[in-house]
Amino acid sequence: MPVNYYIYFCLALFSIGVVGVLTRRNAIIIFMCIELMLNAVNLLLVAFSKMHHGAAAAGATVPSTVGADGQIFVFFIMVVAAAEVSVGLAIIVMMYRNIHSVDVNFLNRLKN
Amino acid sequence: MNAIIFSAVWGVVMMFGGLIAKNKTTVTYLAIAGLLVLTGVNLLHSCGSWVIKVDTHETLHFDSMGLYFNTIAFVSTLLYVLLSGKDIERAGVHVAEYYALIFFVLCGVSILTSFNGLLMLFLGIEIMSIPLYILTGADKKNLKSNEASLKYFLMGSFSTGIMLMGIALIYGATGNFGINIGPNSAAGTGLGFRPSFLEVGGLLLLFVAMSFKVSAAPFHFWTPDVYDGAPSVFTSFMATIVKSAGFYAFIKLMDVRTAILGDSWLIVLPLVIFSTLLIGNITAVFQQSVKRMLAYSSIAQAGFMLFALYGTSVMSKEGLILYAFSYSIATIGLFAILIRLKDYSLDGFNGLAAQHPMVAFSAAVFLLSLAGIPLTAGFFAKYYMLAAAVKAGGILWLVIAAVLLAAVSVYYYFRVIQSMYFKTGTPEWTSPAGKSFAWTLLLLAALLIYAGLFPTAVLKFIYF
């Protein structure tokens, strides 16, 4: 399958995430949309990694490690995303305890 | 490398110290000791000796300027803890954890000053940001703090997503995560369009994400709310050390990459700088609360720091170091006074000069430095930035606009001086300003004046 399909698919997934962040009002759903953006990036990185590997391995006689760094990056993104989830959910729970809602429309106390 | 390892380790030490220490003051002393150690090992590294030998495979590259920036960041943090340690103790119950998070932020800062690839850039930004989300929400019962924390978190992780997309596109175009590689290596990969197309798109996304992090217009809108809602002690830390580190990373990143973007870059960047300066300065004029005024002024100062992206010459880098130094010291000092006052509005400062002449004098020096009046470090910081931009050529209108807007900034900084010296009243304090507090403030003011008289005294250490 040509790599372009992956690029368009990932960009579509990423755009859905961005639109979701900008339009939804529920903090949890916004958060899920952000995760969607990160996962679109993960997929894109893996696709590019395979693409670069395929290009380097085409004429080579010895096994090539080109493209491995893209896969490693994906693991780092997963780790950071996990750290972000733990902090983010804690913040959302903290807010829910105080105002019994996760609607971001309530976030207007700072506007004066 | 020393700084990265020690800051991470000392963060853990702080957490365990919180279990053992019964007294909050002990925790502060432990943090001060940690910052001294951190500064020490960083200086050791500057002299070429590694405490622990680590092969980073060139994912990190240490140069003298980055190490010097680390030193400035650590010393500023040390001064910050010396001045506001008592207020960190009062910010909540988990004092040791706050310090631990501050150390983790410093770990992120030292990665950002030495990254040599997009992977480390990403990790540095995240290690720096995630503890800040927690610190912003440190005041758990306060709704404003909650709101600021959630807003900062959502905005921060959104911009992280955008940054990662940029990195992925650049990877697609170049085939690696180095920061020095141009587009050429994607030949024969069956990609339907020109790789440079991907790379330019990726760079623009990276630019947007970094602008978010350093609060450059038009991506600044989270800044006033977050800085206003966060507990004041942590605002002080966020607005100074973290912000300058973000700028350092931004400039390190764009240094090499701007050539790829070509002329279109020279249209976008002046617009960003101009709108940042305009929005920051004009909005700051109308603020009644000094804390919110400082939040907007931090946007305005970010506009000046963005000038360093223009020249990317030696002078602009020196200017950035000087700017980070003068801006951090002045803002930390000003916040240290503000935190201890009951009333954050301008009236809260009325009659400060009569009550505490030393404190008022230092505050006046900080404000003068922020406004960029000669004989203070702020003047030379602004001068270096603008001179580097003039040398790069072609944007004289922007430099003139920046000078005019700096004149606007004099207005709102001087209003604070006016209330301190020319209005009567008795400022109320949450914790009285003692002798040692006043002397530390005076030391900061002396540093600013010294750097304002001899800017090369600060800069010569870069080339150690």
Cβ contacts of A54 on chain B, cutoff 8 Å: 189-190
Burial A16-29 (b: 16+ CB within 10 A, else e): ebbebbeeeeebee
Q: Give B421: exposed, middle or buried? Use CB within 10 Å, 0-12, 13-18, 19+.
A: middle
Is residue A79 one of the residues assigned to a domain? yes
Average pLDDT, stretch B359-367? Answer: 92
Q: Give A111: exposed, middle or buried? Use CB within 10 Å, 0-12, 13-18, 19+.
A: exposed
CB distance B154–A17 less than 8 Å?
no
Å from B130 to nearest chain A CA? 7
pLDDT tens sequence across B413-429: 999 999 889 988 888 88
Is residue A84 one of the residues assigned to a domain? yes
Check residue B187 and give its pLDDT.
Answer: 47
Check residue B221 and give its pLDDT.
Answer: 87
CB distance B190–A3 less than 8 Å?
yes
Chain B, 102 to 121: residues with Cβ < 8 Å from chain A are 119
Is residue A8 one of the residues assigned to a domain? yes
What are the Cα distances from residue A57, in Å, to A6, A53, A65, B50? Answer: 20, 6, 9, 39
Distance CA B256, CA B182 (A): 9
Coil, strand or helix at B406: helix
How many CB atoms are located within 10 Å of the residue B108 CB? 26
Check residue A11 and give its pLDDT.
Answer: 93
Is residue A98 one of the residues assigned to a domain? yes
DSSP bridge partners of B115 = B60
Cβ contacts of A30 on chain B, cutoff 8 Å: 154
Is residue A111 one of the residues assigned to a domain? no
Residue B72 token pair: 């400035």
Q: What is the residue type of B145?
A: S
Q: What is the residue type of B187?
A: A
CB distance B143–A70 less than 8 Å?
no
DSSP state of A63: P
Domain that holds residue A13: 3-103
Distance CA B248, CA B215 (A): 14
DSSP bridge partners of B117 = B178
B259: pLDDT strictly greater than 90: no
Nearest to A95 among B150, B160, B224 (CB): B150
ipTM for the predicted complex comes to: 0.94
pLDDT class of B180 with cuts at 50, 70, 90:
low
Q: What is the CATH number of the domain that holds A29?
A: 1.10.287.3510
pLDDT greater at residue B193 or residue B285: B285
Å from B272 to nearest chain A CA? 22
Check residue B238 and give its pLDDT.
Answer: 92
Given phi > 0 = left and psi -120 to 50 = alpha, else beta, which region is B373?
A: beta
Q: Are B224 and B296 in contact (CB under 8 A)?
A: yes
Cβ contacts of A37 on chain B, cutoff 8 Å: 158, 161-162, 164-165
Angle of helix B396-422 versus helix B377-392 axis, rounded to 10: 170
Q: Are B447 and B76 in contact (CB under 8 A)?
A: no
Q: Give B174: exposed, middle or buried? Use CB within 10 Å, 0-12, 13-18, 19+.
A: buried
Nearest to B168 among A4, A48, A67 (CB): A48
For chain A, the distance separating the N- and C-terminal CA atoms, rounded to the nearest angstrom, is 54
Nearest to B158 among A34, A45, A111 (CB): A34
Nearest to A110 among B144, B167, B187 (CB): B144
pLDDT tens sequence across A35-47: 999 999 999 999 9
Nearest 10 degrees: Cα torsion B104, B108, B110, B115: 150
- What φ, ψ does residue B290 adopt, rounded to 5°? -65, -35
pLDDT class of B191 with cuts at 50, 70, 90:
low
On whether any CB of chain A is under 8 Å from the CB of B225, the answer is: yes
Q: How many domains does chain A have?
A: 1
Residue B366 token pair: 């900080």
The CB-side HSE value for B109 (13 A sphere, CA atoms) comes to 33
Is residue A73 one of the residues assigned to a domain? yes
- Asked whether the CA dihedral B17, B20, B26, B28 is positive or negative, the reply is positive
Chain A, 8 to 67: residues with Cβ < 8 Å from chain B are 10, 14, 17-18, 21, 27, 30-31, 34, 37-38, 40-41, 44-45, 48-49, 51-52, 54-55, 58, 66-67
Average pLDDT, stretch B158-164? Answer: 94
Flag the least confident range among B119-123, B274-278, B309-313, B334-338. B309-313
Distance CA B307, CA B213 (A): 16
CB distance A55–B176 less than 8 Å?
no
Nearest to B171 among A48, A84, A106 (CB): A48
B375: pLDDT strictly greater than 80: yes
**Which residue has 């977050």 as its token pair?**
B226
Chain B interface disruption, residue of A30, A53, A73, most B CBs within 10 A: A73
Is residue A112 one of the residues assigned to a domain? no
Burial A52-86 (b: 16+ CB within 10 A, else e): bbbbbeeeeeeebebbebbeebbeebeebbeebee
Is residue A78 one of the residues assigned to a domain? yes
Cβ contacts of A31 on chain B, cutoff 8 Å: 154, 157
pTM for this one? Answer: 0.93
A6: pLDDT strictly greater than 70: yes
Average pLDDT, stretch B15-43? Answer: 90
CB distance B147–A109 less than 8 Å?
yes
Å from A84 to nearest chain B CA? 7
